[in-house]
Amino acid sequence: MAIAVELRHISKRFPGVIANKDVSIKVESGSVHALIGENGAGKSTVMKILYGMQRPDSGEILVNGQSVQFKKPADSIEAGIGMVHQHFMLADNFTVLENIVLGYEPSHGGVIDFNAARAKINEMAAAYGLTVDPDALVEDLGVGQRQRVEILKVLYRGAKILIFDEPTAVLVPQEVDELFEALQGLRKDGLTVIFITHKLDEVLRVADDVTVIRAGSTVAEVKASDVSAKKLAELMVGSELPSPEIHGSAKRNEVTLSLSKLTVLAESGARNLVSDVSFTLHAGEVLGIAGVEGNGQSELIEAILGLRNYTGTVVFKGEPLDDESVSERRDMGIGFIPEDRQRQALLMSSPLWENRILGHQRGKPVMNGVLIDRKATMKDTVRIMQEFDVRAPGPDTLALALSGGNQQKFIVGREMSGAPSLLLASHPTRGVDVGAQAAIWNELRAAREKGMAIVLISADLEELIGLSDRLIVMLRGSVTAELDPTKTTPESLGSAMTGAA
Amino acid sequence: MRFKPGKIALSIAAPVFAAVFSLAVSSASLLATNKSPREAFSLMWEFGSGAGSLMEAVNLATSYYIAAIAIALTFRAGLFNIGVEGQLRLGSLFAAYFGAMIVLPPVLHILAIFLIAMFVGGLWASIAAYMKVKRGVSEVISTIMLNSVAGGVSAYLLSKHFMVKVEGSNDLATKPLPASGQFPDLMPVLKKLGVEEQPGGGVYGMLLVAIVLGIAFWFVVNRTRFGFELRSSGMNPIAARVSGVNSKKMTFIALVASGAIAGLAGLPTLLGDTHSYTLGFRGGVGFTAIAIALLGRNSAVGMAISALLFGFLEVASRTLELIDIAPETYVIMQGSILLSAVIAYEVVRRYQLTLQSHALAKAGDK
C-alpha cells in the first residue's frame, strides 16, 4: 500500500527541553492511523509540525513520497493536509455554508457563487454521511454538528489527509458513533485519517494502525487488531499498567463519619434527591458510592460538606455537623475533590498559588492570622507541584493555562494537604491520563493507610471496585444495595446500578 | 520576583495605546468641526498644567477616587453598585445637617461627620443589599432606582426640613459647618514645600483621607482573607461557596461597605469648600467614578491615575470655550479613553495568555 505521510526522525526542541526526539511515523494512505500517548508526551507537537504550525529542528517529512518543507499551515493545506481542531474555529454568526467557504469562496465576476458551493457541500455531506443543513447558523448547532462543519471545511479545501486532534473529547457517545461512521466513510473513499487521542477503546474501535509516543519519541507501531487496550496503555506508560487495588484492611476503630437518615429535598418539590441514606465510615476506610450519574451521589457528598440543605444527621468524629457551615466543616478536616473542577474548585484566571489558598483560607500554611502568607503559600504550591507532578512553569502560572489532568493533580494535592480526616472525592481521576491516574491512586491509597476516611464516587467502575473497602449502590436517591468489592465485577456492579440485579 | 522587562512593557502597552487612540478620536472630532486639534490640545495643556488648575484637578480627583474605590469594591466581588451617586448624596446631606448641629472638638468633629456619612451611605446601600440577599433582586437595577429615590428624598429633606435661609440668595442650603467640622486645607503644608499660593486655589485636606483609603483598599483586597474571599466570590462564586465562603454574607458586606465608602465621596467639597449642602450639590460624581474604576481596572494605583486624568481633563477643557470649542469635548475624550482602554486591556490579556501557554507547552513536554 502507498504511504500517504511519513515522518522520518523528526526532532524538535524548545529552549531547554526536547519536545520530540527521533519521531518516525508511517501512515498508509486510505487508513485510519491513531497516534496515542499520555498528556504531554508530544503528540500535539508532532501534529503541529505536520500541519506546518511549527518547524522541526531535524528530520524529514514526506507526503505521498515527496519530501516537503512546511513553513506555515497554508503550505500543508496546499499539500492536501487538513486539521480538525479540538476547539472549533467557526464564526458563530455565519451559516454553515459561509463558514465552509470562508477564505476559499468560489467567485463569479466578484460575486460569491453560493449555489455552486452549496451543491458541492451537499455532495460531500451525502458521500460521507456528514449531514448538516448548509443554511443553518452555526450558533444554532450542537457540538457534534459543529464538528461536522469543521470536517466539511477541511474536505472542501481539498484535503486528502485529515488530522483529528482529540475529536471525541467534546462529544457525547451518540455523536462519537456518528463521527466514527463518518471516519469509515472517509477511509472507504481513499482518504487518510490521523487520529490523536488518549482514549484506548476508541483506538481499538476505529483505527487500523497505532503509533505510540512516549516522552517525545515513538516507541511502538502496531496493528490495532493485534493489541488489547491494556497492552496499549502499557506501551503508553512504559511499564506495567497500574491497577486500582488496595491490599488488606487499614480500617481503624474510630468512626470518622456517620450519616443517619440523610435526606435532600428537591427544590421543586419533586422526589427526594437523596432519600434516607445512612452509613458509618471508619478511619482508614474507603466507601465507594456507585450509581449512574444523577442518582443522588453528588448531592449526597454536597450535603455532607454542607453545600446543600438536608434533614437527618451527619456526625463527624463524634461531633454533629448539622448546624455547621461549609467553612466550619472544612476546617474540622474535610477535604473535597469536586466533580467539576473548573466550576467548583478553581479560580481559572488566578495563578496557582492563589488557587492553593482556595478552601484553605482560614488557616496555616497559607494564612498568617487574617493576612495571606504569600511566601509560605508559594512554597507550599511548589511542594504540591513536585509531589503531584503538576506540569507548569511555576506557581505564578494561571490555572486556566494548565491541561485538565494537571489541574486535577493540583486539586488532589491541595485537598490532601493538611491531612484531612475525611476526603470526599468525586471522580478524582476523571479526564487525567494513565500516569496521573496511577499517581492519584497511590496518593489515595497512602492516605487510607494513614487513616484517612474516603468517600469515593467514580464513573470508572474498575477504579471504584479496586479502591473501595465497601461499596454502596445508589438509585434514585436511595441506597439499593451494599456490595463487597472483592466479590464484585464491573458487570455485576453495572447491573446493580441500573436496578437490574 | 525577577525583573522582567517584557512584563513591564506589556503592562504599559495598554494605557499607552489607549491614550494614543483617544487622542486620535478627539482630534477627529475636532477636525470634523473645523477646529485645530493642535491649538485645542496645546491650550488645554497650557491652562491645565498651571498650578491653580492642577490643584483643582486634584480636588476633583479626590472625590472621584473615593467613589471609584466604592465601586471597585463591588466589582471585585462580582457585584455592581451603580448607586454610589445616591449614597454619596444622602451621605453628604446628613453629614452636613447633623455635622452642623453637633458640638465637638476639631478632630473628633470631623470623625463624627465621617461616621454619619458612612452610616447613611451604608444604610442606603443596605436596602439594595437586603433585597439582593433575601429576594434575589439584581443590585444593578435596585441601586439605579435608589439613585432616583435618593435624589427625591434629599431634595425633600433639604427644602422642607434641613435648610436655613441664605441671605441674598435663592439657593437652599443647610446650616454651615462650624470651623471644628471643616477639614483644613493643605495649602500651608504645600507652601512650606515651596508651592506658591494661587488665587482661589487650595488642596482639600481630604486628599490625605483618599490616599489612606486607597492604601487600605489595596491592602484589604490583596493581602487579607476577607479580600481573598471577596475576590473569589467575584471570580467564581460557586468555587467560593465550595471553599467555605458564605456568599450571601459576602454580598451583603460588600454592598454595605461600598455604600459606606461612597458616603465619604461627597465630603471633600463639603468639608473643604462649601461647608454646607446646597441645592447646587455637584451631581454625577458617582457615575464618572464608574468609568474611573473601569479605566483603573479596580486597582488602587490604576484608579488614582485615572481619577487624576479625568480631573485634569475636566478642568483643562474649560478653557476650550475661549477658542469657541464646546467644553464637552472632554466627554468625548473620556469616552474614547475608556473604550480604547477596555479594548487594549483585553488585547494585552489575550497576548499574555498566549505567552503563558507557550511557556506551558515547554513545561508540559519536559
pLDDT in tens, A147-159: 888 888 888 888 8
Report CB contact under 8 Å: B365, A42.
yes
Number of H helices, E strands in chain A: 17, 24
Regarding the domain delimited by A255-497, which CATH topology (the fold level of the hierarchy) does it fall under? Rossmann fold (3.40.50)
Q: What is the dihedral of CA A355, A356, A360, A364, to 10 degrees?
A: -140
Spatial distance between the Cα atoms of B150 and B82, rounded to a whole number of angstroms: 13
Which one of B242, B356, B364 has the shortest CB-CB distance to A344?
B242
Report CB contact under 8 Å: A370, B224.
yes
Three-state SS for B63?
A: helix
Place of cell 511542594: A383
> Does A42 lie at the interface with B, CB-CB under 8 angstroms?
yes
Which residues in chain A are classed under CATH 3.40.50.300? Answer: 3-237, 255-497
Spatial distance between the Cα atoms of A271 and A198, rounded to a whole number of angstroms: 39
Which residues 275-334 of chain A have a CB within 8 Å of chain B?
305, 307, 325-331
Question: Distance, in angstroms, between A307 CA and closest chain B CA?
Answer: 7
**Which of A18, A302, A339, A347 to probe by mutation at the B interface, max B CB count within 10 Å?**
A347
Report CB contact under 8 Å: A19, B365.
yes
Report CB contact under 8 Å: B244, A361.
yes
Residue B348: its chain A contacts at CB < 8 A?
none
Contact status, residue A178 vs residue A147, Cβ threshold 8 Å: no
**Which of B76, B223, B236, B353 to probe by mutation at the A interface, max A CB count within 10 Å?**
B236
User: Could you tell me the end-to-end alpha-carbon distance of chain B, in angstroms, rounded to an integer?
Assistant: 24
For chains A and B, count residue pairs whose Cβ atoms are closer than 8 Å: 114
Residue A339: its chain B contacts at CB < 8 A?
none
pLDDT tens readout for residues A336-394: 999 888 889 999 889 999 999 999 998 888 888 889 999 999 999 999 999 888 888 88
Report CB contact under 8 Å: A327, B357.
no
Which one of B232, B235, B360 has the shortest CB-CB distance to A397?
B360
The C-alpha cell at B220 is 484589604
Question: Distance, in angstroms, between A146 CA and closest chain B CA?
Answer: 24
Per 3-state DSSP, what percentage of chain A is helix, strand, and coil (rounded to 5)? 35, 25, 40
Report CB contact under 8 Å: A370, B243.
no
Residue-level pLDDT at B364: 46
Contact status, residue B125 vs residue B260, Cβ threshold 8 Å: yes
The DSSP call for residue A240 is: P
Which band of pLDDT confidence, cut at 50, 70 and 90, is reported for residue A1? low
**Which of B238, B242, B350, B353 to probe by mutation at the A interface, max A CB count within 10 Å?**
B242
pLDDT tens readout for residues A424-479: 999 898 877 777 888 889 889 999 999 999 999 988 888 899 899 999 999 888 89
Residue-level pLDDT at B366: 38
Residue-level pLDDT at A335: 93
Residues A153, A157, A159, A164: is their CA dihedral positive or negative? negative
A146 vs B168, more confident: A146
Spatial distance between the Cα atoms of B293 and B73, rounded to a whole number of angstroms: 10
- Taking only the tens of pLDDT, chain B with its 366 residues reads 444 556 667 667 777 788 788 888 888 988 888 888 888 888 888 888 888 889 999 999 999 999 999 999 999 999 999 999 999 999 999 999 999 999 899 899 999 999 999 999 999 999 999 999 999 899 999 999 999 999 999 999 998 888 887 677 777 888 888 888 888 888 888 888 877 777 767 889 999 999 999 999 999 999 999 999 999 999 999 999 999 999 899 999 999 999 999 999 999 999 988 888 988 888 889 999 998 998 888 999 989 999 999 999 889 888 888 888 887 788 888 888 888 888 888 888 788 777 766 666 555 443
Which one of A326, A344, A354 has the shortest CB-CB distance to B244?
A326
Which residues 365-424 of chain A have a CB within 8 Å of chain B?
367, 370-372, 391-393, 397-398, 400-403, 406
ipTM of this complex prediction, to 2 decimal places: 0.81
Report CB contact under 8 Å: A361, B225.
yes
Residue-level pLDDT at B263: 95
Report CB contact under 8 Å: B362, A397.
no
Three-state SS for B218?
A: helix
* Bridge partners for A35 per DSSP: A196, A211
Helix axes B51-76, B285-295, angle to 10 degrees: 80
- Closest residue of A to B231, CA-based? A347
φ and ψ of A455, to 5 deg? -105, 120
Question: Distance, in angstroms, between B114 CA and closest chain A CA?
Answer: 26
Which one of A14, A327, A347 has the shortest CB-CB distance to B236?
A347
Residue-level pLDDT at A168: 78
- Closest residue of B to A402, CA-based? B360
Among B89, B229, B100, B189, residue whose Cα is nearest residue B146: B89
- Closest residue of B to A364, CA-based? B225
Among B11, B7, B229, residue whose Cα is nearest residue A354: B229
The C-alpha cell at B291 is 468609568
Residue A349: its chain B contacts at CB < 8 A?
235
Average of pLDDT values for A182-188?
86
Q: How many CA atoms lie within 13 A of B77 on its CB side?
A: 31
Three-state SS for A316?
A: strand
Which one of B225, B236, B356 has the shortest CB-CB distance to A397?
B356
Question: Distance, in angstroms, between A469 CA and closest chain B CA?
Answer: 27
Residue B246: its chain A contacts at CB < 8 A?
325-327
Report CB contact under 8 Å: B245, A45.
no
pLDDT tens readout for residues A36-79: 887 667 787 888 888 888 888 888 888 888 888 888 888 888 88
**Which of B228, B248, B353 to probe by mutation at the A interface, max A CB count within 10 Å?**
B228
Contact status, residue A152 vs residue A184, Cβ threshold 8 Å: no
Residue-level pLDDT at B111: 94
The C-alpha cell at B117 is 456619612
Question: Distance, in angstroms, between A1 CA and closest chain B CA?
Answer: 34
Identify whether A365 is preceded by a cis peptide bond (ω within 30 of 0): yes
Which one of B222, B353, B366 has the shortest CB-CB distance to A17?
B366
> Does A86 lie at the interface with B, CB-CB under 8 angstroms?
no
Report CB contact under 8 Å: A358, B239.
yes
> Counting beta carbons within 10 angstroms of the beta carbon of residue B192, is it exposed (0 to 12), middle (13 to 18) or buried (19 or more)?
exposed
Residue A307: its chain B contacts at CB < 8 A?
241-242
B252: Cβ contacts below 8 Å, ≥ 6 apart: B126, B129, B130, B132, B133
Which one of A42, A44, A362 has the shortest CB-CB distance to B225?
A362
Report CB contact under 8 Å: B365, A14.
yes
Question: Distance, in angstroms, between A126 CA and closest chain B CA?
Answer: 39
The C-alpha cell at A87 is 476547539
Residue-level pLDDT at A54: 82
The least confident of A15-24, A313-322, B31-40, B124-133 is A15-24
Q: What angle do CA B88, B89, B92 make, to 5 degrees?
A: 80
Average of pLDDT values for A114-118?
85
Report CB contact under 8 Å: A370, B225.
yes
Report CB contact under 8 Å: B242, A367.
no
* Bridge partners for A280 per DSSP: A258
CATH number for the domain running over B37-345 = 1.10.3470
Spatial distance between the Cα atoms of A277 and A482, rounded to a whole number of angstroms: 12
Which residues 190-249 of chain A have a CB within 8 Å of chain B?
216
B168: Cβ contacts below 8 Å, ≥ 6 apart: none
Tell whether the model's pLDDT for residue A126 goes beyond 90: no
For the whole model, what pTM was predicted?
0.75
Pick the CATH number of A3-237 from 1.10.645.10, 3.40.50.1370, 3.40.50.300, 3.40.50.720: 3.40.50.300
Listed in order, strand segments (DSSP E) in A105-216 are: 107-108, 111-112, 161-165, 192-197, 209-214
Average of pLDDT values for A198-203?
80
- Closest residue of A to B224, CA-based? A371
Average of pLDDT values for A164-174?
76
Question: Distance, in angstroms, between A20 CA and closest chain B CA?
Answer: 8
